Structures are given as C-alpha cells and as structure tokens.
Chain A
Amino acid sequence: MKYIDEFRSHDLAEKLATAITHEAATGRDYHLMEFCGGHTHAIFRYGVQDLMPPNVHFVHGPGCPVCVLPVRRLDDAVELAERHGVILCTYGDMMRVPGTKQRSLIRAKADGADIRMVYSTQDALKIARDNPDREVVFFAIGFETTTPPTAVAIVQAQREGITNFSVFCNHVLTPAAIQHILQSPEVRELGTVTIDGFLGPSHVSSVIGSQPYEFFAEEFQKPVVIAGFEPLDVMQSTLMLLRQINEQRHEVENEYTRVVKPEGNLKAQALVGDVFELRSEFEWRGLGTVPYSALKIRESYAAFDAEKRFALSEKVSREVKSCECPAILRGAKKPTDCKLFGTVCTPDNPMGSCMVSSEGACAAYWTYGRFRTNADGTAATKEAAE
C-alpha cells in the first residue's frame, strides 16, 4: 500500500532507533505526550516502545474522541434511541462504550432500540432518505478531522430538503484540550505530570493546519512536532522532539508534511465555520469543563440540531466509581495504576471508555502490552516484571 508500507519499514526503524538512542544519550529523561489515540495505537501495535531507549517515555494524551465523551452525552444518545424512538446512526466505535449503569448502545440495541452502525455521514443521510416516516439522528463524535464530514451532511440535507435528519453534535476541539492540559495543576504546579514536548495531531492538523499550535509552543515553551500515524512517523517525530529539547527550542515543526500544510484545509474550515459555532464550554471526560472546546450547530441550521429537535431529559449520569479514566486521560495516571484495570475492567467487560476504544490507553495496555515479554523471555514492560 503506497504511502503506508514504506512508513512501516523495519530497516528504517532500526536506523531511526539508533539515531534516537544517540540523541537521547544525555543522562536525562524525556517525557513526550502523544496527544492522539492514533499515536497511542501505533506505539503499541507496532511495538515502537521496544525500539526506544529507556529514558524516552510516552505519556498518553486525551486525543481519543470516544474516550473523552462524557457519560452524560452517551446517556442522551441512548435516550434518543429509546425514548424518542429515532433511528440512531453511529460510528462503530461508540457501540460498546458503557454509559450510566453499564448501559451501552449495543445493549440498548439488544433491547429493541433502532441503532445502526454507519461508516460515513453519507450512509446516515441515505438511511434518512430511505425512511422518510422515521426520525434519523446521527450521533456525531470526533475532533476536527471528523467534523467536516458532519458539516457536509447537514448542508446536503438542507439542500435536498431532507427534513427527518438531524445531528446530535459532540464535536470537540484539539487545541483547547492541549492548552487545558498544559494549564492543569498537575503540569503547572504539582509537577506530577512532566511533559517535555508534544507529538502533535496528524489528521486533525490536515484540517486545521500547523498554525493553531504556535500559540502554546510559545506560551508554554513546549516543542510540538506534528507527527503522522505510521510507526516511522512517530519515530522520526520523536527524534525531532528530542533535538528541540536538547537545543532548548520550542517550535512547531511538521513531520507529516505529505498531508499537513501550515494553513490546513481551507475549504473544510469554511464549511465547518458555516455550519458550526463555538460552545462557551463543554464537558470532557477526564478534563472536566473546558472553555470554548466544542462546537454546536448554528442557528441557521437549527432544524438539523437534535438537541433542539428533541427534549432531552435531565439525568444523573454516573461513571463507575474508582474508574481512573479521568486521571489516565490527563496523563496523570497509567492504566496499571487503576484498581479496576485487568480485574473488574477488561475489554470484555469495560467499566470506562479508555478500555473500549482501540485507541484508549487502557485497551492498548491490555491488548498489546499486558504481561509482554521479549522473545528471550525477559520482561519487556514493568508490569510484566512485577
């Protein structure tokens, strides 16, 4: 596969590993936060950590849209399907995420709710066209990458006069979340989380460009390298970050130039600006309420806003007590610090979102990292040694 296989080459990986080991041979530790779940997934799936010197640490960030969606919003989606009787269209990622009392979309579906998995907003529109006598709601989640396709669907629905289609909008913004993490007491005052630099979002940046990161590279004096999601991209970006840190620079650099331009995708940005506007605040699982961190549908498209169309009830939504997803999402704890990890909470019976999404730190630890040993039988992870 062109542009994929060559960025998974073992030979280049070994070369880069040598270069990284050399660059990191300074006697200090390096803590790099990979904001995106895509990076977390690549690090675990390809075993990138195995090629890193022991003083280079990856801190997993909150960049998994499934993980950061608060339970309340999931409960709302279940309510739309159950109480309002709509056809709820969702990306497959959301199906197993547990809501209050472990209720997930897959369970609601088993109980008779009409929940359909779609691959694209185009599929949701088609379902609306095919079922003119039913209300069809698209459960929109995701960062800046996934927002423009939702905008296209809304504009298209208006153009085609599809009146039974609406969107339950949960789109969130990356720069606001990164800034929030950098301002958190754990990073700023308590020092419990050390972040020396960021592996910046790859596909988000293809839409928003590299400019939005300039502000906090400067303000917080942290280097950012926008990194592709293939394992070699992660390694090359790590090398670039180490160089910046060693040279005490804090710039925004772009490793993923084959897709990311400084200005991003202007057409997509314009479309998103036309359909959506900022929410003054939005709750993130793990980060709490983050100002100006999410989007809502503009008044001019209010007819397509499921939150306006359906009266959602007040509800008390609860996460499972002692689930450490929130701290894990902030980088303050590791999955293995959670009492539930691997005991009560497993991918078969997830208690929190981080165990559901294949990008969630807990699922990645469980699936790819738990008890991992090297081919010679020695422990490859601290967990395996203990």
Chain B
Amino acid sequence: MCLALPARVISIDDGEMAVVALEGIKKRISLALVEDVSVGDYVLVHVGYALHKVSEEEAERTLALMSKAGVLSAEIEEIEGAEA
C-alpha cells in the first residue's frame, strides 16, 4: 500500500512546490504537507507530495540495528558450531 519513495529536495519555489531528485530523475512535488524542509533534505514522496522528512540519523540507527542482529547470530552460530 501507498507507494512512497525517499528523494532529495534540490530546489524550493516561493510557494509550496519543490523539485526532488532521485538518481537523475527530477520531479516537481508539493510541500503543502510538510514543514521546515530545506534544500538537501530527503523527503518521502507519495502521489506528488512530500509526506515526511526522512531522518538520516534514524536510518543509520536502523541499519546498525540490523547489522547487530547479524553479528549476534554469527556469534550464536559460532557457539553452536563449537558445541556440535
């Protein structure tokens, strides 16, 4: 449900419109639903609207969490391997 993609804001009009870029694709979208967005921010784009800012910090935290789960499981495997 709800196809939405993170894209980088590359320019903002006087009004509520902005241009976002995604790998060389540029699309005009509306900023009517978000506040405090600046050029360089990543926003989640859905049906031509920015829905939310994307937090870089949180994205990295989530990836770190995923890696940690992996590290844990590697340790577990090692222990289990040693027991076997």
Which A residues fall within an 8 A CB radius of B? 1-4, 6-7, 12, 14-16, 18-19, 21-22, 36-38, 63-65, 91, 119-123, 142-143, 145-146, 148-149, 152, 156, 201-204, 206-207, 228-229, 232-233, 235-236, 239, 255-260, 265, 267-268, 271, 359
Contact = CB atoms under 8 A, between A and B. Distances in A.
Given A202-B2, A259-B54, 4 more contacts: A2-B42, A149-B47, A203-B1, A259-B55
Q: Which of B32, B56, B72, B76 has the most CB of A within 10 A?
A: B32
B82 to A, nearest CB: 15
B66 interface: yes
A27 B46 CA distance: 41
A42 B4 CA distance: 13
Contacts of B51: 145, 148, 203, 206-207, 265, 268
B27 to A, nearest CB: 9
A362 to B, nearest CB: 16
Given A203-B1, A203-B2, A203-B46, A18 B77 contact: yes
B31 to A, nearest CB: 10
A204 to B, nearest CB: 7
A19 B2 contact: no
Contacts of B66: 12, 15-16, 232, 235-236
A18 B73 contact: yes
A147 B77 CA distance: 47
Range class of the B interface residue count: 35 or more
A203 B46 CA distance: 9
Interface string B44-84: 10111101101110110111011101111110110000000
Nearest to B46: A145
Contacts of B67: 12, 15
B12 interface: no
A4 B6 contact: yes
Contacts of A123: 48
14 contacts: A3-B59, A12-B63, A12-B67, A16-B73, A121-B47, A122-B30, A145-B46, A148-B33, A149-B48, A203-B46, A206-B4, A255-B62, A257-B61, A267-B33
B39 interface: no
What 8 A-B pairs are tightest by C-beta distance, nearest first? Answer: A15-B70, A120-B48, A18-B73, A145-B2, A19-B73, A3-B6, A203-B2, A258-B58
A38 B2 contact: yes
A67 to B, nearest CB: 9
Given A203-B1, A206-B44, A152 B30 contact: yes
A258 B30 contact: no
B63 A6 contact: yes
Contacts of A143: 1-2
Given A120-B49, A148-B49, A255-B62, A19 B70 contact: yes
